[in-house]
Amino acid sequence: MKISVIMAVFNGEKNIAAAIESILNQTYKDFEFIIVDDGSNDRSYEIIKNYADKDDRIKIIRNNSNTGLTKSLNKAITQAKGEFIARQDDDDISLPSRLELQVNFLEQNPEYSFCGCNGIIKQNGVELLEYFDYNEIKQNLITKNCFAHPSIVIRKTMFEKFGNYDEKYLYGQDYELWCRLIYKLKQISINLRDKSIIMNIPVERLLRVKNRRKFIIQKKNYVKTKLKYLRYSENKIKGFFSILREIFELTLVVIFNRNN
């Protein structure tokens, strides 16, 4: 088994079929597809089960209640048998050659621990990423998340050696992991320039009250991560000012949330 694709789903019935099919239709076929239904109360599990009945590469884990993305991904990682672990979100699309391109790169470049890929935002066609080369990622990661989480393919040995996603992070767990690997553990990574994913980021998602709460928690976690790994960064001054900016933005959102 070469690749384990992992996906966590919570009430994703609207987009999940297209997300699943985008993995099943990959040009690279040697994979297992581990899908965690994280306590959905819509038709998500039924949809997943229908696909699993037709394709034995799909393995279903069903949580009794909603535990959150971090714990669900860690549960999938513990079950994964692949040499590489690829992320997929339940409302995004992986273009057909995505896995082939990323796995081929990692096989040909063993010094790299993980890689992301470029993509576009579904709503406006804007490119996802700004930074591709390892050196520019290392310089800028302390100021912002340089990776699109659902674009990642990572060697499973990274989790075995250095631990899974930190379960203290309900959101922003990916950013903590990249900072841990790159800054503290000196692992090398890259983003491929190929536009291999389509991310679904509806504007209205950011306007909902529950997602303002998510934004606040995520901002707090970003500040926490930056403070934790700033000392390992070569760009401490830029990192320090980015922390101040995060705190300022967080303060504005908290004030707005209280008044609405």
The answer to whether the CB of 230 falls within 8 A of the CB of 143 is: no
Do 192 and 216 have their domain in common?
no
* Residue 55 backbone dihedrals phi, psi, to 5 degrees: -140, 110
- Same domain for 103 and 78, yes or no, is yes
What is the pLDDT, as a whole number, of residue 257?
Answer: 67
CB-based contacts of 38, cutoff 8 Å, min separation 6: 8, 9, 10, 63, 66, 67, 68, 69, 72
Asked if 164 and 85 touch (Cβ cutoff 8 Å), the reply is no
**For each of the chain's 260 residues, which pLDDT tens digit applies?**
799 999 999 999 999 999 999 999 999 999 999 999 999 999 999 999 999 999 999 999 999 999 999 999 999 999 999 999 999 999 999 999 999 999 999 999 999 999 999 999 999 999 999 999 999 999 999 999 999 999 999 999 999 999 999 999 999 999 999 999 999 999 999 999 999 999 998 765 544 556 778 888 999 999 999 999 999 999 999 999 999 999 998 888 777 767 66
Domain boundary among 155, 178, 201: 201
At 85-98, the pLDDT tens digits run 999 999 999 999 99
Position 201 scores a pLDDT of 85
Q: Are residues 170 and 56 in the same domain?
A: yes
Cβ neighbours for 68, distance < 8 A, ≥ 6 positions apart: 38, 170
Place of tokens 């900072």: 179
One domain for residues 213 and 197: no
Supply the CATH number for residue 86's domain: 3.90.550.10
Q: Which residue in this structure is represented by tokens 């901002």? A: 219
Q: Do 221 and 171 belong together in one domain?
A: no
The pair of structure tokens assigned to 208 is 């909902």
Same domain, yes or no: 177 and 214: no
| Same-domain check for residues 180 and 243 | no
Query: CB neighbours of 15 closer than 8 A, spacing ≥ 6?
Result: 90, 91, 200
The total of structural domains in the chain comes to 2
- Same domain? For 223 and 110 the reply is no
- In whole angstroms, what separates CA 99 from the centre of its chain? 15
pLDDT of residue 210: 60
Are 93 and 18 within 8 A, CB to CB? Answer: yes
Are residue 196 and residue 243 in the same domain, yes or no? no
Mark whether 9 and 115 lie in a shared domain. Answer: yes
- Structural domain of 126: 3-201
Domain co-membership, 223 together with 121: no
pLDDT per residue as tens digits for the range 44-74: 999 999 999 999 999 999 999 999 999 999 9
Whether residue 223 is found in the same domain as residue 101: no
